[in-house]
Amino acid sequence: MTGEMLVGDLTRPVPADAAFAAPTPEDCATERALKRERVLAVLDRSGRDAVLLTSTTALTWYLGGSRVHISLAGDPVAAVLVTGDGDHLVTFTNEFERLRSEELPPGLTLHQVPWHQQLHEVGRWFGPGVAPAAEAELARDLRDARRSLLPVELSRYRALNREVAAILTDVLMTVSPESTERQVTATLAERVTNIGAEPLVLLCNGSSRSTFRHPLPTAAPLGAGAMVVVCARRHGMVANATRWVRFGAATASALDAERRIALVEEDIFTATVPGARLNGIIDQLRESYERHGFGPDQWLMHHQGGPAGYAGRDPRATPVTDDEVVANQSFTWNPSAPGVKIEDTVLLGDAGIEVLSVDQRWPVERVGNLDRPTTLQL
């Protein structure tokens, strides 16, 4: 890791992202066909005739990013029955016209039930004689089906991550020690909503609350500095990023801790290769914390991340999670220690790790072969 800091122009406006173009109907048709093919393969391997998709993660993936929720904290207002003969979507009568007009891709047979009935009672709306597998029965296989992102998904995801990174730069370059945590996250929420995304997680801790790793915002001022976390969803895909801001000069110990946590992340990236297992990466991460001076138990103080995409983590990596890493899979690892954390959404591509949540104006340091974000000094 070098000591050279690369700082972009923090005053120029963010240009419109001309690299992202809405997918064509042909792109969407190909996406639908390939995802259906993957689910039918899951059914074939499991010996089942049908599966009922009921989670937001599975539904938004299978439907190409359709919004099938009302409350972010509630269950989806639709379910999809995948059979060898076709895809059947059921929703409540009061949601039917909106979903059909604004959200759903072609090629679905639509059903509706009154608001007081249950979407999961397949026999009531589809007819007798079908006994689909519950999504939970095939959870691992369906998760595997989502792992490798298609080109149209990567286009959507790259655009979202770039926009989220730019929003973090825009907002944090304007804050002051007197800004409150709630003011910061309120501005972030507005900006995230304005790009057509949903702010799933907004965290902020000023210097008085710097020991908390999941700091829900309060009325506390930022003081000497802050950590800010954004997890934003659009087209069903979730971009995750953490940034730090500091007012005044950094102490030598703070700079040293930031350098060492970036080295832990570098070790995680090195371990994230096709064929690796998530629990194997966790084993290497535990050793990395100790090797870089954080002690043997630091990994227990906070989850470490894992595959990303259609959920914040899909799944969260643990010592018993043995999912296999594949090419074109996205990840958000988030190593942390007292007062430090580093987090971006990345893609495991042909050339290795590609950082997706990048804004060229944010200060970075070179770690291995990647530019990684440092603390914005104001």
What pLDDT was estimated at residue 17? 45
Distances in Å between the Cα of 37 and the Cα atoms of 21, 43, 82, 303 are 25, 10, 11, 33
What pLDDT was estimated at residue 20? 57
Q: Find all residues with CB under 8 Å of 4, minimum gap 6, and list them.
A: 365, 366
What pLDDT was estimated at residue 21? 65
Q: pLDDT tens digits for 57-81?
A: 999 999 999 999 999 999 999 999 9
Q: Where are the domains of the chain?
A: 25-146, 149-377
Q: pLDDT tens digits for 111-150?
A: 999 999 999 999 999 998 889 999 999 999 999 999 999 9
Taking the CB of residue 207, how many other CB atoms lie within 10 A of it?
17
Among the residues of the chain, which ranges form H helices?
A: 25-46, 56-62, 93-98, 122-125, 139-147, 151-172, 181-194, 252-271, 278-291
Q: What is the CATH number of domain 149-377?
A: 3.90.230.10
In terms of CATH architecture, what is 25-146? 3-Layer(aba) Sandwich (3.40)
Do 25-146 and 149-377 have matching folds? no
Distance CA 205, CA 324 (A): 35
The yes-or-no verdict on residue 223 having pLDDT over 90 is: yes
Distance CA 167, CA 321 (A): 33
Mean pLDDT, all residues of the chain: 94
Share of the chain above pLDDT 70, in %: 94
What pLDDT was estimated at residue 23? 83
SS3 assignment, position 27 = helix
